[in-house]
Every structure is written in structure tokens, then in C-alpha cells.
């Protein structure tokens, strides 16, 4: 736990250094594509004159100056499967983005979708020393949270204090300076498989880059796709990626739950490939060009040339009706959504005041999903595209870039995490002066 704290702090220091240099790269290592954005931080409103785009809720302190996407290789279910391949794909994306930005980036903020994220809600209570709450009390309250056993080899990815309660008052965002006796803290802890993180770290290191931050892709997709009201009132964001579907629940601008389903667009593609006996590349093309989830009478007559280059005329000249294609895709999409529904129910989403569900990610672009999803997830479903950020190329504004854009926002305004607060005095290393002072105070 302690070394995680240290490494997260080191990452924060790295992020600060990157901000100082003004250039940082965003790396979204997904199952179907790897996106790399290069951000330049110039302070707010630096591009006002040239761009005409006003301040976007204070998010205009940066500008995207380089963007590149490459087909992902060696990634399955949002986890790195073949490291060499992934490293090459990352290199491709980073090099292209650097070339577009015409600047060298050394710091990268990455997100990962896989690693079986698991959410924990923690609570800690301390008596306030003195009459009002100080930084140290907040630190002690967070340190007092009882950590559950989350399994061997799992690492904490996010640990965000979501609520503070002082005596009988709850729902505080910042208790410091307030008068009270008992300070309670609720913390949301997200753990992922440590091996997945270390694989990603290794890949990034092999590309001569330094990691300046790490986030869960479900979380950052929620940051970019949920509008402010939804984040405040409560909503679930479902990021339908290639290999994994992430879901995150927000309320009061804090993520309170995140999970991932290891199902995604790749399964749909492989279903098509198996069902129609076509290669994966052809299946992917059929899915993106002709795919859908709601069949109409017209679709029966809409015959699609499958195409092929095997040389066998019979095999290459097959056609399939769009209804057939939909018939293959729909069950799998339904399965994904049902799985998401199960996870939401397990998280107790139905008890939240707002039942808003936002679909994003590349998978949300399937035509007809806006008809299918309400049947499974409930009536308040919308399909979202990420927030517009300055300088983002048109090609990278689609739903598939929700996590990349969310990472940009995360880089610009990271949420306070546990490691951003002070270290409680009794956790300091040996020979610490403050510890000595505390011992002195306690004994005299």
C-alpha cells in the first residue's frame, strides 16, 4: 500500500513536471485502436484569438496539437496480450502524433480498460484534534478507512474521497476549517490487476516515455461523456469498447462505482466472422458499414456483397441480407447490455435518484442501439459523444474517443485522490521531525 502511495505521488510529480514543460501525451490503449493525443498547456484562453472557441467550462487551458490513431495490436479485453505488438502499435501512434504536433513528448498519461476493475466503498471516522478540522485531520480520516482485502497482486488505481461528514452534517466537499468533533470520510477505491498495470508500464517505458498518470478508461469516459448535470445528479456511463465494456456511476461529480464487462465489439465481429464464414477483417468491415441491431422489412431485401479474395468464385461472390447480419449482431449486443444491466443492478444503481444511462464508446455507434438499449437498460438512455476540446481533429471527435478526450480533461483537472492529501503524521517515515513533535505533545 505504501509503495503504491509513493508511486502515485511520483506520478503526480511527473504530471506537474509535464505541465511545467507544457506538453503531455494522452495514450488510450484500447482493444481495437490505440489513440495518442498530444496536448499543449498554455494557460487559459491562450488560443482565443486564433480559434474563436470560447472557454469550455474552464477546460480550454490546453489544446490538442497532435492526434493519431492506429489499429491496436496485441491487446485483448483491454489488457496487453502480446507485448511486442502492443509496443509497436504504441510507437506508431506516438510517432504519428509527435509528427503532427512537431514536438517531442516525454510524459504520457494512459488509461486502461481491462484488468477486471473492482470498486470498494470505504469509510473512516476520526475524532478531530482541536476545535476545527485541519489538513492533518482529513489525512487521518482517510488513513482510518479500513482497507478490505482485495486479493493478491491487485493495485489501487483510484482512491477518491467522495464525501466528508462532520458530526451530523454530511455531503461536504471540503471540511477543512469547519468546527466539529467527529470527521467521517467516504472513499471510493478502484483496484485493478497489478500485472495489467505493470505490463502497460513496461510497454510505455520501452517507448522511452514516462508515465505521468494512469486512469481507468471507464472513469475517464464518464468524465468526458456525462454532461455536468448528469455528473451532479447521478448517471451511469457505459463505454462500449472493442474488447471490454466499462461502466462507471457518477453522482455529485464523483465516481462512486466502476466496473467492466469483458465483452465488446470484438465479440460481435468474431460472431459475424463465425456466422458468415468470413475473415475477421471482412467481418469488421461488414459490421461497421452495414451493421445494425434493429431489423426492418427493408433489410430483408438489402443484399450485401461479402466479397473475398480466396480465388474460389462461389466463396467470394456470396451475398448476405442485412437482416441476417443484424440477426447475428443483435444477440451479442443484447448480451453485452444485459451483462451491463446485471452489473448495474449489483451495484445498486436502481436506488440512485437519477436513472440516467449514457452510452458511449465505439460500440455505441451501432445503428438502432438507441432503440435496443432502452429495452434492456431503462427509459433514460442517451447515446453520447465526448465533450469538444480545443484543437481536436474532426476525425477524433466520435464516440470512440470518449476515453481519450476524458483523459485530456483528467490531465487538465485531475480529481483529488487520496495521495494528493497530506500524509498523516504517524505514517511518516522514521526520524521524522513531525513525528517527534507529536510524541512530545502527546507526552507533555
Residue closer to another protein by CB (options 82, 342) is 82
Residue closer to another protein by CB (options 24, 344) is 24
Is residue 220 a contact partner of residue 110, using CB atoms and an 8 Å limit?
A: no
Residue closer to another protein by CB (options 104, 413) is 104
Q: Which stretch binds another protein (CB under 8 A): 89-97, 226-234, 262-270, 317-325?
A: 89-97
Question: Of the candidates 1, 43, 54, 102, which one interacts with another protein according to CB under 8 A?
Answer: 102
Question: Judged by CB under 8 A, does residue 103 bind another protein?
Answer: yes
Question: Judged by CB under 8 A, does residue 104 bind another protein?
Answer: yes
Question: Of the candidates 7, 12, 95, 194, which one interacts with another protein according to CB under 8 A?
Answer: 95
Residue closer to another protein by CB (options 89, 244) is 89
Residue closer to another protein by CB (options 110, 183) is 110
Least distance (Å) from another protein to the CB of residue 268?
21
* Structural element, H or E, at residue 142: helix 135-143
3-state secondary structure of 366: coil
- DSSP for residue 132: B
Least distance (Å) from another protein to the CB of residue 388?
28
Phi-psi category of 327—alpha, beta or left, where left has phi over 0 and alpha has psi -120 to 50? alpha
Least distance (Å) from another protein to the CB of residue 87?
8
Q: 193-222: which residues touch another protein (CB under 8 A)?
A: 207-208
Distance, CA of 444 to CA of 58 (rounded, Å): 50
Question: Of the candidates 82, 281, 303, 315, which one interacts with another protein according to CB under 8 A?
Answer: 82
Question: Judged by CB under 8 A, does residue 88 bind another protein?
Answer: yes
Tell me the C-alpha to C-alpha distance, in Å, between residue 373 and each of 48, 238, 336, 363. 40, 11, 10, 12
Q: Is 360 exposed, middle or buried (0-12, 13-18, 19+ CB in 10 A)?
A: buried
Question: Judged by CB under 8 A, does residue 39 bind another protein?
Answer: no
3-state secondary structure of 151: coil
Distance, CA of 80 to CA of 94 (rounded, Å): 17
Total binding residues toward another protein, as defined by CB under 8 A = 15
Question: Judged by CB under 8 A, does residue 359 bind another protein?
Answer: no
Question: Of the candidates 89, 108, 215, 384, which one interacts with another protein according to CB under 8 A?
Answer: 89
Question: Of the candidates 91, 290, 330, 341, which one interacts with another protein according to CB under 8 A?
Answer: 91
As a 3-state breakdown, the chain gives helix, strand, coil percent values, each rounded to 5, of 40, 25, 30
Least distance (Å) from another protein to the CB of residue 397?
23
Distance, CA of 37 to CA of 25 (rounded, Å): 6
Q: Which stretch binds another protein (CB under 8 A): 57-65, 86-94, 150-158, 266-274?
A: 86-94
Residue closer to another protein by CB (options 238, 283) is 283
Neighbours of 270 (CB within 10 A): 14
Question: Judged by CB under 8 A, does residue 20 bind another protein?
Answer: no
Is residue 385 a contact partner of residue 397, using CB atoms and an 8 Å limit?
A: yes
Which residues, listed in sequence order, are joined to residue 382 by a DSSP beta bridge? 358
Question: Judged by CB under 8 A, does residue 92 bind another protein?
Answer: yes
Cell of 415: 480529481
Distance, CA of 94 to CA of 396 (rounded, Å): 15
Centroid of chain to Cα 19: 21
Residue closer to another protein by CB (options 9, 285) is 285
Question: Judged by CB under 8 A, does residue 70 bind another protein?
Answer: yes
Question: Judged by CB under 8 A, does residue 33 bind another protein?
Answer: no
Is residue 195 a contact partner of residue 141, using CB atoms and an 8 Å limit?
A: no
Which residues in this chain contact another protein in the complex, by CB under 8 A? 70, 82, 88-89, 91-92, 94-95, 98-99, 102-104, 207-208
Amino acid at each position: 500500500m505504501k509503495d503504491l502511495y509513493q508511486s502515485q505521488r511520483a506520478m503526480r510529480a511527473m504530471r506537474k513536471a509535464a505541465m511545467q514543460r507544457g506538453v503531455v501525451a494522452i495514450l488510450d490503449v484500447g482493444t481495437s485502436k490505440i489513440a495518442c493525443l498530444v496536448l499543449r498547456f498554455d494557460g487559459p484562453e491562450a488560443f482565443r484569438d486564433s480559434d474563436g472557441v470560447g472557454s469550455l467550462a474552464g477546460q480550454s487551458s490546453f489544446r490538442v496539437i497532435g492526434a493519431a490513431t492506429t489499429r491496436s495490436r496485441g491487446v485483448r479485453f483491454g489488457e496487453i496480450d502480446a507485448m511486442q505488438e502492443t509496443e509497436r502499435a504504441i510507437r506508431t501512434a506516438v510517432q504519428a502524433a509527435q509528427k503532427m504536433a512537431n514536438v517531442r513528448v516525454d510524459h504520457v498519461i494512459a488509461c486502461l480498460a481491462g484488468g477486471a476493475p473492482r470498486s470498494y466503498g470505504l469509510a473512516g471516522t476520526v475524532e478531530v484534534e482541536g476545535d476545527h478540522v485541519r489538513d492533518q485531520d482529513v489525512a487521518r480520516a482517510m488513513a482510518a478507512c479500513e482497507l478490505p482485502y482485495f486479493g493478491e497482486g491487485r493495485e489501487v488505481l483510484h482512491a477518491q474521497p467522495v464525501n466528508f461528514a462532520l458530526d451530523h452534517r454530511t455531503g461536504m466537499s471540503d471540511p477543512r476549517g469547519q468546527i466539529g468533533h467527529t470527521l467521517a470520510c467516504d472513499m471510493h477505491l478502484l483496484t485493478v490487476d497489478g500485472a495489467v498495470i505493470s505490463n502497460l508500464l513496461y510497454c510505455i517505458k520501452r517507448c522511452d516515455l514516462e508515465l505521468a498518470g494512469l486512469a481507468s478508461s471507464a472513469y475517464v469516459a464518464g468524465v468526458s461523456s456525462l454532461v455536468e448535470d448528469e455528473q451532479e445528479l447521478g448517471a451511469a456511463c457505459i463505454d462500449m469498447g472493442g474488447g471490454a465494456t466499462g461502466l462507471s456511476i457518477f453522482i455529485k461529480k464523483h465516481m462512486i462505482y466502476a466496473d467492466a464487462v469483458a465483452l465488446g465489439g470484438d465479440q460481435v465481429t468474431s460472431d459475424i466472422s463465425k456466422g458468415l464464414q468470413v475473415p475477421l477483417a471482412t467481418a469488421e468491415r461488414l459490421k461497421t458499414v452495414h451493421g445494425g441491431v434493429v431489423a426492418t422489412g427493408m433489410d430483408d431485401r438489402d443484399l450485401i456483397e461479402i466479397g473475398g479474395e480466396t480465388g474460389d468464385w462461389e466463396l467470394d461472390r456470396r451475398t448476405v441480407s442485412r437482416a441476417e447480419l443484424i440477426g447475428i449482431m443483435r444477440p451479442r449486443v443484447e448480451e453485452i447490455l444485459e451483462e451491463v444491466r446485471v452489473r448495474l443492478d449489483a451495484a445498486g444503481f436502481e436506488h440512485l435518484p437519477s436513472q440516467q444511462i449514457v452510452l458511449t464508446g465505439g460500440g455505441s455507434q451501432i445503428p438502432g442501439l438507441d432503440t435496443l438499449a432502452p429495452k434492456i437498460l431503462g427509459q433514460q438512455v442517451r447515446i453520447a459523444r465526448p465533450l469538444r476540446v480545443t484543437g481536436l481533429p474532426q476525425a477524433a471527435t466520435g464516440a470512440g474517443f470518449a476515453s481519450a478526450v476524458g483523459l485530456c480533461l483528467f490531465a487538465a483537472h485531475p480529481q483529488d485522490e487520496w495521495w494528493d492529501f497530506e500524509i498523516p503524521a504517524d505514517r511518516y517515515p522514521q526520524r521524522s521531525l513531525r513525528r517527534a513533535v507529536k510524541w512530545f505533545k502527546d507526552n507533555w
